[in-house]
Structures are given as C-alpha cells and as structure tokens.
Chain A
C-alpha cells in the first residue's frame, strides 16, 4: 500500500517536471498547428498572387479577428468540460442593445458601448446562473435554449431592420490603425496575453483545469466550482460583447441576424487549438495559432471566390479533424 502511494507520488513528481527531451519538445500539438499554418500560407500564396504581402496579411486580421475574442473564454469553458453555443446570439443581442441605446434612447456612443458590454456580460451571467443553479442540466441544453432566447429578443427589438448611423470615430474599432498596426490586432494581443496569464499563471486557471479533470474532487478540495463556472460564463458573454463592438464598427450597422453560426467557428478554433472536448487539457497558445489558421484559410479561399457555403464545409471538416485525430491516437494506445 505504502509503496503504491510512493510510486504514484514519484510518478506525479515526474509529471510535474517533464523531461526536456527532443521528443517532448517537438511531438506536440502546437507544432502540428504551426505546420498547418505554414501549409495554409503556402497554399494561399499559390492560389492568389495578391496574398503574400505584408499589407494584405495585416489587413486580413481586421476581417477575421473579431470572433477570435470569444475563443479564449470558450477554451476555458471547454477545459471545464462544458460548452456554450449561445455566443453567436449574445453577439447579436449585445450589438442590438448598443444600437438601441444609441439610436432610440439617445445615449452618447461611449455609454452605448458600455451598454453593449453590460448586456453581453448579463447574457453570460444568466447562462452561468442557470448552469450552476441546475447542475442536472447539461450546458448544451441550457445554452441551446438561451441561444434561441437571445436571438429572439434581438428580433423583437429590431425586427428585420438594420440600425446604424454610429458616429464616425466609432469606425476606428474596426478600421483604425495605431502606428500602422490594426487596432483590433493590438486589442487581440492584449486580451490573448491576459487570458493566457489567467489560465496558466493564476490559481483561477488551475481551478479551471481542476474542474475539468474532476469536478467532484475539486469541490471537495475546496474549489468553489459554482463561482468559477459563473465567472467563466460571464467572461464568455463579455467577450461576445467585445466582438459585437468590433463587428458593428466594421459593418457600420447591426442587424438581429449578425454573427450567425459564430459558435461553430469559435468551437472549431478552440478544438483545433488543442483544447480537448473531454475537458482538462489544452493550452491557449494553440488556440492563438488556430485562430490565425482558420482566419487566413477563410481569407485566402475568399480571395479566389470560394462561396461562403463551401467555407462552412471546410470549417466543419477542420473541427472534425481536430477532434478525431487525438482520438485515433488514443484508440491505437488501447
């Protein structure tokens, strides 16, 4: 008995100090992602002569980075073995809230942006509240219901109208540069670093991993599971609202049907980034690479006029690829 405990202790210590051999450094998911990324760039360069120059690569980020903000909290959620499919609807509702605050209630644009963030955070909070209050319910079904509900409220407010007329400076979010770097890219880097530190360098991040491994044991070891889940879902709503701000700014107006099927793109990016859908595993650096893979892939295929419906197939296939490849490895082991 004692030897067994010692054995497991030794084993755990070895796990904590993973040896730095070439095999461990190079045989990782992230390197596969880098390879895929290079492959996408090469393919795009061959497909279109306009692709590989720094201006085009830089400006493409303005188009695809908006949804990437949600990928980080989605990674947290998936690490906790849960899922949130209401994020697309949250984007729509918070942007409609912003447009209504500005156009109907006559609030200044700054206040309208705050309204947008608050609406998004409230949507996320409501998801988190339902999921923690009713642990019998799976996150799938709760967020499925709120997905319909949030989109429905957006339709009730705006019907099929577009709402825009934002002040000119608001366009800066979507189209602005700071010293030649797109503003959205700077915000993206900042948020990526913040979430990376939160997940990998704080006790909060460790708690998220612990819940993903085993939520019962983490509860009995003193992790406040409910509070952690509530915070993470609220963050997801907040980031959806950030997406809404950038999206509305880029498009100049908003509609209740924007950000349709964003949840698929976001989940695909997170899964491709190596976040295991079985929970408890993943690193944010992978998701960052995955965001750029999917983004440049969409951009490159758009350059040669591939219709958006075909892109749906590509994203779906990427998601399956990301989920199935690790499973095949597991199957072979057993």
Chain B
C-alpha cells in the first residue's frame, strides 16, 4: 500500500517504452497452447510413437490425477496459501481405502471413492483449522502435517505394500473402466472441472475466495469471513487429494507408504505454469488445465526422447523457476504500462 502511494508521486519517466512483456500476459493461454503444440510436433518428429491414440489416452489418464489436484491447489494459491501435504494426504487415503477394500472385497467402487474423499476432507479440515483458527502459516502447517500424514501412512500399512492381487477387480476397475466410451478417470476430471467452473465463477463463495486473495483487508471490510474461506479451500484441497488417493491406488494397482512423494511439487508447478499468481487473487481454470497438460506431456515425452530419468527433476526445476520469473516480469510490464497510461 504505502509503497504504491510513494511510487505514484514520483515523476514518471515518459520516455520509457511500453513493456513488450505485458503482451505475453494478454495472450498467456494462447501462448502456452502454442508452446504445447510446438513441443508436441517436436517430440513427434523425434519419435513417431508419440502422437498415437494409444499414447495419447495413456497420457490423459496419467495426467488426470494431476489435473484434479491442480484445481484444489489453484484455490489454495489464490488465497495466498500453499499446501505441501497433498502427496501425503493422497497416500494416506489411498492406503486406508486399499486396506479396507482388500478386507471387504464386496465394497462398491462408489463407496470406496466416497471413503477416500471423506478421509481427505478430514485431513484438509485439520490443516484448514490450523491455518484459519490458530493463524499458523500455511507453509509451516502443511509441512508439519505432511510428515504426520506420511508417518501415519507407514503406521497404518506397517511398512507393507498392498498389491494388485489383494485388491478386488471392481476396485481396480475404477481407473480402467469406461463410461460412454471414455476412460472413467477422464470422466471424473471433466465432472470435477465442470463443478469447479460453476463454483469459482458463479457462486458467491467462489468469488469470495478471489476477494480474500486479491485484497484481504477490503474483503474483511465488505464482510467476507477470511477464516471461513481458508477453512473451505484447505478442506476442498484435502477432499480432492483424498479422491486422488483412491484413483491413484486403483490406477497403479498398488498402495505403498511412499506413494506420490513429492507429487505436490508437480501440482504446484502446473498451477504456476498455468499463470496462477503466487501473490494471490489470480488464476484461471483454463490456465491450470494447460499447465497440467504441459507437465503431463513432458513426463510422457522425456522417456520417449531417451532423456535419462535423472534429468527429469532438474528440467522440472528449471521450468518452474522460468515460469515464476516470467510471471513476475509480465506483471511488472503490465504495471509499468498502466503507470504510463495514467500519465498520458
């Protein structure tokens, strides 16, 4: 606030050129899409098995879980928070549900999914309570809970794996079955995104999330309960992580103590690539979809290009860093142009 006021009283150098970087901001989604298409063409030229229907459906189902989690992470980031615990929440819900269905093979898939969501919601509620009622910093609260949930996963499983032969067929079928000819994972993603699209853009609570993120003080003045919003976003995030846990275990047909370790970083990366602002208040579902798709394509294409798997992490780190810095530059450019416009 105070720095803004000081800046606007300073004489503005009118000679300054308009920042070209700001234009990237206007065409972010199209730019990202163009980049994805270019990347796909480049990969296809190196390896012709990339653009086959088989590989494409493979990629879609592999990216599905990332896409689901990215919605929740977007909401958390919009409120200026962060959630590092989702990998652990995912593992915990996956493990508990896998143990339950292996002991009760008659469980219907729907019950298993609801169970996973329930566990995730409880996990998320704990974090939301810490952040909203006790005022713990999101990074500290989720770092601590990440380890607690991960430790609980190991305790629940006693260090053992649940493998595919212990799981009933209809449970594994959650990820492999088809609804109307489309893989059910993809169907679930579409449902999640339709609900999220309506919730974020067309309900009062959805808009309040953005209000809290873009300006907490004025949101408070207009009567938005910050605590309620924080509790809500972390709970939604937890619920989605719980859902993903069931899908993950069903898809890979195994539940382990170290399931999805570090997956939260990929999710955050997808959001940042998709243009979700770390400073809060900004983020679009379309951007998040593209960001997650880009990560999914990279994960799929790197092995096809014979890139050593050990390079993957380094490449991911570089991309995230580049995306963050590009975001900042674009934002600076936009602000500089706005300043110029005000003078003229």
Contacts and interface: CB of A to CB of B under 8 A. Distances in A.
Interface of A: 83, 85, 130, 134, 136-138, 140-142, 144-153, 155-156, 159-160, 216, 261, 263-264, 267-268, 271, 277-278, 307, 309-313, 315-317, 319-320, 323-324, 327-328, 330-331
B3 interface: yes
B314 A152 contact: yes
A277 B137 contact: yes
A149 B311 CA distance: 10
Given A85-B143, A136-B332, 19 more contacts: A134-B325, A137-B278, A144-B268, A148-B265, A149-B318, A149-B320, A152-B312, A152-B317, A156-B310, A156-B311, A216-B2, A264-B144, A277-B140, A278-B137, A307-B159, A309-B151, A312-B148, A316-B148, A324-B134
A317 B148 contact: yes
Contact of A140 (B82, B134, B257, B313): B82
A116 to B, nearest CB: 19
Contacts of A142: 324
B2 to A, nearest CB: 6
Interface in B301-319: 308, 310-318
Contact of B143 (A146, A149, A155, A267): A267
Contact of B154 (A155, A160, A307): A307
Q: Which 10 A/B pairs are nearest by Cβ-Cβ distance?
A: A152-B314, A149-B317, A309-B154, A152-B313, A313-B151, A316-B147, A148-B317, A312-B151, A316-B148, A316-B144
Given A138-B278, A267-B143, A310-B151, A320 B318 contact: no
B37 interface: no
B14 interface: no
B51 interface: no
Contact of A328 (B134, B147, B152, B328): B134
Contacts of B284: none
Given A136-B279, A312-B148, A313-B148, A159 B140 contact: no
Interface string B75-87: 0000000100000
Interface of B: 2-3, 82, 130, 134-137, 139-141, 143-148, 150-152, 154-155, 159, 257, 265, 268-269, 272, 278-279, 308, 310-318, 320-321, 324-325, 328, 331-332
B28 to A, nearest CB: 17
B316 A148 contact: yes
Contacts of A271: 140
B145 to A, nearest CB: 7
A289 B311 CA distance: 40
Contacts of A320: 130, 136, 141, 144-145, 148
Contacts of A312: 147-148, 150-151
Nearest to B279: A136
B76 to A, nearest CB: 12
Nearest to A321: B144
Given A316-B144, A317-B148, A327 B3 contact: no
B328 A319 contact: no
Contacts of B331: 136
22 contacts: A136-B279, A136-B328, A137-B324, A138-B278, A141-B278, A142-B324, A145-B321, A146-B317, A149-B317, A149-B320, A152-B311, A152-B318, A153-B317, A156-B310, A159-B308, A309-B257, A312-B148, A320-B141, A323-B136, A324-B130, A324-B136, A327-B134
A71 to B, nearest CB: 15
Contacts of A156: 310-311, 314
A211 to B, nearest CB: 15
Nearest to B317: A149
A319 B321 contact: no
- Scoring A85, A140, A310 by chain B CB atoms within 10 A of each residue's CB, the highest score goes to A140
B66 to A, nearest CB: 16
Nearest to B315: A152
- Residue among A150, A159, A312 facing the most chain B CB atoms (10 A cut-off): A312
A118 to B, nearest CB: 20
B284 to A, nearest CB: 19
Contacts of B145: 316, 320
Contacts of A149: 314, 317-318, 320-321
A216 B7 CA distance: 14
A312 B143 CA distance: 11
B313 A155 contact: yes
Contacts of A141: 82, 272, 278, 324
A145 B278 CA distance: 12
Contacts of B140: 267, 271, 277, 319, 323
B267 to A, nearest CB: 12
A133 B192 CA distance: 38
Given A134-B328, A313-B151, A152 B144 contact: no
Contacts of A159: 308, 310
A310 B154 contact: yes
A323 B137 CA distance: 9
Nearest to A318: B144
A319 B308 contact: no
Contacts of B139: 83, 85, 140
B151 A316 contact: yes
A317 B325 contact: no
B122 to A, nearest CB: 16
Contacts of A150: 317
A307 B321 CA distance: 36
Nearest to B268: A144
A145 B82 CA distance: 13
B293 to A, nearest CB: 20
Nearest to B331: A136
A235 to B, nearest CB: 21
Contact of A145 (B135, B320, B332): B320
Contacts of A216: 2-3
Contacts of B321: 145-146, 149
A261 to B, nearest CB: 7
A130 B316 CA distance: 18
A55 to B, nearest CB: 31
A327 B279 CA distance: 25
